[in-house]
Chains A and B, each alone.
Chain A
Amino acid sequence: MTSGHASRPILVLLLALAGMGCSGRADLPPPIVPLSPTENAAFRSSPPLISPPPTPTFPDVHAFALENGLCGYVVPLRGSPIVGVRYVTRRLRDADVNTTELADAAARLVVEPRVRRPFGLFYLVSNAGVVFSSDTTAEHLAGVLRTLRISLVSQKFDAEDFPGTRDLLRRWLRGLNTNAAFRANAESWRALFGPEYPLAATADERASRIERWTSAGFDDAFGRIFGPRDSAIVIAGDVDVDAAESAIRKEFGTWKDSGERPPQEIPTGAHRGKPVRVFDMPWNQVVVDAAALAPREGSKDQVPFQLLSYILAGSLDSRLAHALRESSGHGYTVRGHYDAVAGAWMFTTSVDPFAVQESVEALESELTRLLRDAPSPDELERARTESLEGLAARLEAPDTLATSLAELYMIGRGPERWAELDRLIRSATSADVARVARRYFGESRAIVTVVGPMSTIAAQLQWSKYPVEYVAGD
């Protein structure tokens, strides 16, 4: 199977290069026996005792609201040279696809400066909102706030930057049009939430929409996407709380909401088509994705599902990592992700083109086993420890703490949610996890999306026991 790799185009250059300098293989001496001459002392035979995760120290959050509706959170973390700053808006939650893409362009304009700055500013657009982030040394805090004010409140941009940004996004998407991983992800979202869902658009569909943007439309959208209502500023680090609040009030206190929020319609998830769908695209590997509806943030199923997601595909020791990588070598990246904002579980791997049948069978088999075999006590405890330690660690450093607060704000929660999550994670039982497994992976099975060279895939899946739908290339 592995010799097939040599004929694939992606390695041709490497082989061409190899031919220029490499000649043959050196003879290596045999290994020395005994292989491991270290004396195996008795204390090595068992792992050191580990106490269970203690309840974390929840940070002291100073929260306030400005008259224009903007929320402020300041969290003092003494001794850190780094300050985490976030502007977060949840005004995109369930917005239409065009607004989400305009937000991407608008955010790019905000972070790309006209003059050099001594700090970095980054953005993330999701299906819930936009977050701007800067993690920098404390002396630049005032500069970060001022930059956000100038960009968001004053909307000062170079008019010539809009066409450049639009063109850049369009070109980037056109290039992604033949990216199998991107296509598989979009098809998974489409299967769950329909073609109008923002993340369901193919690269070509998105690029075509962007080509129709105008400057006037962009200016109008900017005011709707960013504003003080449904937005917050977060500062975490070694700062003076009162001075930080004053700085937020000074920079953002005069900000007026200039537009209506984008439409808010929560999409209803619905599985469409057959459980296994195949899309034709030339690629070096075959992308195998899976997707399922999952509980939304706030549901009583959320924490048990989070633990289930970890057990299923949350680490290289997960059930799917064992099935698709550790015991078979089919793939390298084997990754699952639970998105509680969207209410979706997404999984992706890229496998050897000649291992598609085995990979799909292994994936389906593990999803079926999930309904039969409740998590073992050890699986549950590892998932619980990972969740608790992950939560605790996020509250300790300025960057992760600022991000955690911004994420909570985006889903309509505040810092009290940390203690709630800690309690829910500690109290979740194996029966809880088994119940959500049946609910979300039971009757409505996960949808599997396969993207790669159709002829190679079809030759293998013709014997599949699962109904397969073949979708022709664009």
Chain B
Amino acid sequence: MPPSRNRVLGVMVALSLAGAATARAETAAVRALTLKNGLKVLFEEDHRRPRVAVSIAYGAGLRDEPRGYGGLAHLTEHLMFAGSRNVGRGNFLRSLARAGATAWQGQVDPDAAVYYEEVPARSLSTALWLESDRMAFLLDTLNDELVDREVKIVQNERLEKFADSQWSSRDAIVSHMLFPEGHPYHGIGENLELDGVELRHVQWFFQTHYRPDNATLAIVGDFVPSDAEDLVRRYFEAVVSAGRAAVRSAPPVVRLNAERSAVVRQRVRYEGVVFAWPGPAESDPGSAALDLMATCLAGRGSALQRALVTRGSSALNLRARRWTLANQSLFVLEALASYEVDIDGIRRTLDSAVAELRSDVVKYCGIDTVRAATRAAFLESMDHYAARARYLAKTGHSIGDRLARLETLSTTDVEDAARQYLADSHRLVVDLRWQSSEWGTFEVSGD
């Protein structure tokens, strides 16, 4: 079909507004290096801004917590900011501030603990000094008192995040329901079992997982490649770990053969509905198709947004997302009900939208617009160096790989993915309902 006149005009206007410089830095080449101690290092040059971001991902996620130690990965992440032998206790953030850091963070997800900081380009050596010192010498400054205090902070963090709504625990509920007992993702993040956790437990966890051969370092931004490599070798090459690393195998992939559902009753402010489907790994083309379908179902202007939120006002919030795990993903569609709105109607609306999408995804979604929206949103989210470094350290891939998967996706790929992954018989449905008692209940049905 030839493009309409309006579309041609739109393209002309867009081209005329674009700047003279034609080479916009959407992606850049990534150079990889592995040090003798096993540390993987990835470099991505980008000279648009005089800044550099450093990120390290350790294979030290929630799935690595031993039985009965829920929260230990999160506690260790907090303690990583305590200051190491040469940096000094309490001096980590102080040193980052002196270096002019404009962003820093530590995050733990099911598969990894990821740290990053963005500093002026002139402070790259400080960022590497800080990261290498806590990789090599964190345990020298920790003591019982520090661990006890940080346990309290983590417990307060949990209370604060769950204060307004049990909604915050939905990922834990989904993983509890989808993954069988004994699976590394079963009930991930649901238990905070830090009472009685001692310094020696943190020491064990750190020695087992915070090792150069279990980490990826990414550097993104304005640096001279040879200088950056020299600095990396200077600070990291001599780092050695105590003992041997734990054997870390990829968790088994889980699929559902029949619909599974649960009703969770709790004293929540807002009720909600969550649908979740097991999906493919990040590198599978199907993952890009699911990204498109997430935009299609819950992006701004979608039929579902208008039916439930904008016009219908029965839901406060509608989201669809792909939750990426090590070797599979979960496609999650969730609606948070408005105050005093029953969720049965919301569930029915979600049901019919997914059925409509599945029956004719090309017509329902408008693939070109959804692809453009997904691409633009992803590029926007990766424009700052810190975000790109974190993505690179965590996935080991440039954002170009993900963009390429999105670009090359055919309508047949999307249709196949909708049928393959979003079937009712492959999904989990969770109703989150209010009850006055403070004691929660959990009713499960299905296979």
> Once the chains bind, are B195 and A3 in contact (CB under 8 Å)?
yes
Chain B residues bordering chain A, tally (CB within 8 A): 133
B-contact bits for A161-186, CB 8 A (1 contact / 0 none): 10011011001101100111100000
Query: A330 interface residue, CB < 8 Å from B?
Result: yes
Q: How far is the CB of B79 from chain A (nearest CB, A)?
A: 12
Docked CA distance A428–B235 (Å): 36
B397 at the binding interface (Cβ < 8 Å): no
B273-294 contacts to A, CB under 8 A, are none
- Among B144-152, B253-261, B326-334, B404-412, the stretch in contact with A: B144-152
CA distance A77 to B70 in the complex (A): 47
Contact pick for B17, options A35, A141, A160, A382, CB 8 Å: A141
B176 close to A20 (CB less than 8 A): yes
Kindly state whether residue B190 has any CB partner on chain A within 8 Å. yes
User: CA of A10 to CA of B156 in the docked complex: distance in angstroms?
Assistant: 12
A9 within 8 A of B: yes
Q: Across the interface, which residues of A come within 8 angstroms of B49, CB to CB?
A: 393, 396-397
Q: Which residues of A contact B264 (CB under 8 A)?
A: 13
Closest CB in chain A relative to B188 CB, distance in Å: 11
Q: Which of B150, B240, B316 contacts A168 (CB 8 A)?
A: B316
> Are B160 and A117 within 8 A (Cβ)?
no
- With most chain B CB atoms within 10 A of its CB, the pick from A34, A82, A316 is A82
In whole Å, how far is A169's beta carbon from the nearest beta carbon of chain B? 9
On whether the beta carbons of A22 and B129 are closer than 8 Å, the reply is no
B244 — nearest CB in chain A belongs to which residue?
A: A32
A316 to B104, CA, bound (A): 11
The reply to whether A331 and B156 contact each other, CB–CB distance below 8 Å, is: yes
Q: Are A28 and B17 in contact (CB under 8 A)?
A: no
- Interchain CB contact under 8 A, B380 and A116: no
Contacts of B207 in A (CB 8 A): 31-32, 35
Contact A47–B51 (Cβ < 8 Å): no
Chain B residues, CB < 8 A from A388: 100
Stretch in contact with the other chain, from B119-127, B352-360, B388-396, B413-421: B119-127
A471 CB–B CB distance under 8 Å? no
Chain B residue numbers with a CB within 8 Å of A216 are: none
Cross-chain contact A118 with B163 (CB below 8 angstroms): no
Q: Are B17's CB and A381's CB within 8 A?
A: no
- Give, as a whole number of angstroms, the nearest-CB distance from B31 to chain A: 20
Report whether A25 and B67 are in contact in the complex, using a CB–CB cutoff of 8 Å.
yes
- How many A residues, CB 8 Å from partner? 125
Which of A23, A114, A117: most chain B Cβ within 10 A? A117
Q: Min CB distance, B380 to chain A, in Å?
A: 5
Nearest chain-A residue to B99 (Cβ)? A50
Stretch with Cβ within 8 A of B (4 or more), from A131-139, A222-230, A291-299, A458-466: A131-139
B13: Cβ under 8 A from any A Cβ = yes
Q: Give per-residue flags for B137-159: 1 if the beta carbon is below 8 A from chain A beta carbons, else 0.
A: 11110000000111111111111
| Contact assessment for B187 and A21 in the assembled complex, using a CB-CB cutoff below 8 Å | yes
Instruction: Please report which residues of chain B, range 187-225, place their CB below 8 angstroms from some CB of chain A when the two chains form the complex.
Output: 187, 190-196, 200-201, 203-204, 207
Q: Are B153 and A332 neighbours in the complex by a CB distance under 8 Å? A: yes
Chain B: which residue is nearest A241 at the CB level?
Answer: B19
Q: Which B residues, 90 to 120, have Cβ-Cβ distances below 8 Å to chain A?
A: 90, 93-95, 97-102, 118, 120
B238 touches A (CB below 8 Å): yes
- Are B160 and A315 in contact (CB-based, < 8 A)? no
Report how many A-B pairs have Cβ atoms within 8 Å. Answer: 371
Specify which of B90, B148, B159 is in contact with A285 (CB 8 Å cutoff).
B159
- CB within 8 Å for A352 and B240 given contacts A17-B191, A113-B300, A168-B313: no
| Bound-complex Cα distance A56 to B101 (A) | 15
Chain B residues positioned under 8 Å from A168 (CB to CB): 309-310, 313, 316, 338
A35 touches B139 (CB 8 A): yes
Q: How far is the CA of A316 from the CA of B152 in the complex (A)?
A: 16
Contact B19 A284 (CB under 8 A): no
Q: Is B32 an interface residue (CB 8 A)?
A: no
B153 nearest CB neighbor, chain A only: A329
Given A12-B438, A13-B169, A332-B153: A175 and B242 interface contact (C-beta under 8 Å): no
Q: Distance (Å) between the CB of A389 and the closest chain B CB?
A: 4
Residue A369 is within 8 A (CB to CB) of chain B in the complex: no
Known contacts A82-B380, A165-B310; A138/B340 CB under 8 A: no
Q: Are A118 and B373 in contact (CB under 8 A)?
A: yes
Q: Which residues 347-392 of B sit at the A interface, judged by CB distance below 8 A?
A: 366, 369-370, 372-373, 375-377, 379-380, 383-384
Contact A81 B366 (CB under 8 A): no
- Residue from B17, B100, B375 within 8 A of A138 (CB atoms): B17
A24 to B203, CA, bound (A): 20
| A138 and B439 form a contact (CB under 8 A) | no
Residues from 14 to 66 in A contacting B, C-beta threshold 8 Å: 14, 16-18, 20-26, 28-41, 43-48, 50-51, 53
In the bound assembly, the distance between CA atoms of A1 and B375 in angstroms comes to: 49
Chain A residue, CB-CB nearest to B371? A118
Q: A80-B383, A119-B373 are contacts. A240–B20 as well, Cβ < 8 Å?
A: yes
- A363, B136: Cα distance in complex, Å: 36
A247 at the interface (CB under 8 A from B): yes
Is A111 in contact with chain B by the CB < 8 A criterion? Answer: yes
Would you call B234 an interface residue if the criterion is a C-beta within 8 Å of the partner chain's C-beta atoms?
yes
Contact B86 A172, beta carbon cutoff 8 Å? no
A472: Cβ under 8 A from any B Cβ: no
Q: Is the CB of A116 within 8 A of B239?
A: no
Partner of B305, one of A40, A112, A181, A315: A112
**List of B residues within 8 angstroms of A117 by Cβ:** 300-301, 369, 373
B24 CB to nearest chain A CB (Å): 4
Determine whether the beta carbon of B51 is less than 8 Å from that of A393.
yes
- Which residue of the partner chain, among B18, B148, B240, contacts A38 with CB atoms under 8 Å? B240
Whether B14 is near chain A, meaning CB under 8 Å from some CB there, is yes
Give the residues in chain B near A385, CB-CB below 8 Å.
97-98, 100
Contact indicator A32/B187 (Cβ below 8 Å): no
Asked, given contacts A16-B441, A143-B10, whether A137 binds B375 with beta carbons under 8 Å apart, the answer is: yes
Residues of B within 8 A of A121 (CB): 300
Contact B25 A79 (CB under 8 A): yes
A244 within 8 A of B: yes
Closest A residue to B269 by CB, please name it. A175
Which of B154, B242, B376: most chain A CB closer than 10 A?
A: B376
Query: Is the C-beta of B50 less than 8 angstroms from some C-beta in chain A?
Result: yes
CB of A434, distance to nearest CB on chain B (Å): 20
Interface flag for A386 (CB, 8 Å): yes
Tell whether A31 pairs with B242 under 8 Å between CB atoms, given A14-B191, A17-B191, A333-B160: yes
Query: Contacts A38-B239, A332-B153 hold; do A137 and B379 have CB atoms under 8 A apart?
Result: yes
Confirm or deny: B345 has a beta carbon within 8 angstroms of a beta carbon on chain A.
no
Complexed CA–CA distance, A320 and B173 (Å) = 36
Asked whether, in the complex, the Cβ of A161 is within 8 Å of the Cβ of B19, the reply is: no
Q: Answer whether A317 and B94 are a contact pair too, CB < 8 Å, given A113-B300, A164-B310.
A: yes
Q: What chain A residues lie within 8 Å of B99 (beta carbons)?
A: 50
A423 interface contact, C-beta 8 A:
no
**Cβ-based interface call for B26 (8 A):** yes
Interface hub of A48, A120, A175 (most chain B Cβ within 10 A): A48
Q: Which 9 A-B pairs have the closest CB atoms?
A: A25-B68, A329-B152, A9-B438, A31-B203, A118-B372, A13-B440, A113-B301, A389-B100, A175-B339
Residues of chain A having any CB pair with chain B under 8 Å: 1-3, 5, 8-14, 16-18, 20-26, 28-41, 43-48, 50-51, 53, 76-82, 111-121, 135-143, 158, 160-161, 164-165, 167-168, 171-172, 174-175, 178-181, 237-240, 243-244, 247, 283-285, 315-317, 325-333, 350-352, 378, 381-382, 385-386, 388-390, 392-393, 396-399
Could you list 8 examples of A-B contacts with CB < 8 Å?
Answer: A13-B442, A16-B442, A115-B301, A137-B379, A171-B313, A285-B159, A325-B153, A388-B100
Given A13-B442, A36-B242, A238-B21, output 13 extra A-B contacts at Cβ < 8 Å. Answer: A9-B266, A20-B176, A32-B242, A37-B240, A47-B95, A76-B19, A79-B25, A112-B301, A120-B380, A165-B313, A167-B338, A174-B339, A352-B152
